[in-house]
Copies of this chain bind each other. A is one copy, B any other.
Amino acid sequence: MSTETTPIEAWASLTDVEKKTTFRLLPRSEAEEIFLNLSSHDQYELLNDLVPLELRSWVRLLAPDDTADLIQEFQPEVRPQLLSLLDEVARKEVIALLAYAEDDAGGLMSSRFIRLRPDMSVDEAIRYIRVQARTPVEMIYYAYVIDSTQRLEGVVSFRELLLSPPNKLVREIMETELTTIPEDMDQEEVSKRISNIDLMALPVVDAEGHMKGIVTVDDVVDVVKEEATEDIQKMGGQQALDKPYLRMGYTQMVKKRAGWLIILFFGQMLTATAMGFFENELELAITLALFIPLIISSGGNSGSQTSSLIIRAMALGEVTLRDWWRVLGRELGLGLTLGLMLGAIGFLRIWLWPGAEANYGEHYMLIGGAVATSLVGVVMWGVIAGAMLPFALRRAGFDPASASAPFVATLVDVAGVVIYFTSASLFLSGTLLK
């Protein structure tokens, strides 16, 4: 009875071609079970070459919110045809749902929930729920109490209904202190609100308090995943993809990635400009060039550690804009500690290297000093840039996740070149640098 892999997991391991074939060969009941558990895009892949008559039975299987998601996968010109496959009631609901932006609470909600009137008795309510449960409803755990103008008055849990005397009124047992979701709330906010509260569903209302639908916690799981995916992709230094990796077309992929790569490339060109100013020093002490990648990358690495911590802490609401000075204080201390560690290792690397004098010249101890000092400076600059860039971006109204590792590294590289050659001038003037 307990299975090692579920049918859905087995299905997921098939290739696209195998899926299409298997789907046609499976008995209807098994095919339905798999179909209902697929994402809208996967459903689309299975259906997109069926004729309308075959399509109808599949589309009618779905709840209105899932139908709306599926229809959005199709090209705009075939959508009216799909809507015409639905029955009258479902078509109206789906059209209403299609009107919401996909990222709003309205786009996430289901309009099939259990309704009660405040002046029903508990006994009447239970019988009324029984009737409603015959048509698909998203959630039978809470019933929503609505007045004659569709305004939400309260919520009753099923447990309360079962435990209350049959002749009490719904009005007397309902909870009226409600947490609701405005219909235009962004889905990221919706998911924060639901996961902060120990309820399986929250009601969505418009500005006048009219009940529009419910958002359930299982819809939120998908949102939480989606938002994390977007952040991770942005933090890699690119635009977030809107499809799974293997489904992105070649041109789309180039578009999502080339933009940031080119911007960062222009930023990096400043390193060449900065180094141009120090060409004299380089010519006098060519050994200095050997440590450039080591130094600037250490700054980039410490910066990308910090920015990934801060971006995630912001997304989870652990750190808010007004915490910037606390973060700065911590990171300054940390940067100093980490910088001293790397500086010490760098100095030892040059000092103790077999044949240090032959490789780096008679002033190798001074070069070691310059490298170590630059490392402290560059790591500190890295953590400051990595910590403050997400705050600056959010303050300016951008997504903090755009403070990607490559973005921070580019900022730090240019500064790193300047820090390195400045400290080299201090250590080596009068010896290597005349």
Chain A interface (Cβ < 8 Å from any Cβ of B): 1-3, 6, 8-9, 12-13, 36-37, 129-130, 133-134, 140-141, 152, 157-159, 162-163, 176, 178-180, 182, 191, 193-198, 200, 205, 209, 216-218, 220-222, 224-225, 228-229, 231-233, 235-238, 241, 244-246, 250, 253-254, 257-258, 260-262, 264-266, 268-269, 271-272, 275-276, 279, 282-283, 286-287, 289-294, 296-298, 300-302, 304-313, 316-320, 323, 326-327, 330, 333-334, 337-338, 341-342, 345-346, 349, 359, 404-406, 409-410, 413, 417
Contact = CB atoms under 8 A, between A and B. Distances in A.
B6 A193 contact: yes
Contacts of A304: 236-237, 404-406
Contact of A342 (B220, B231, B261): B261
A193 to B, nearest CB: 7
Q: Secondary structure at chain A's binding surface: helix, strand, loop or mixed?
A: helix
Contact of A37 (B37, B198, B258, B296): B198
A298 B260 CA distance: 11
Given A311-B232, A312-B233, A244 B141 contact: no
Q: How many copies does the complex hold?
A: 2
Contacts of A275: 289-290, 293
Given A196-B6, A220-B221, A262-B345, A296 B293 contact: yes
Nearest to A227: B228
A309 B200 contact: no
Given A133-B163, A238-B309, A289-B292, 13 more contacts: A13-B320, A217-B217, A225-B316, A228-B231, A232-B235, A238-B305, A264-B297, A268-B297, A292-B293, A293-B413, A301-B410, A304-B406, A404-B405
Contacts of A235: 232, 235-236, 308, 405
A250 to B, nearest CB: 7
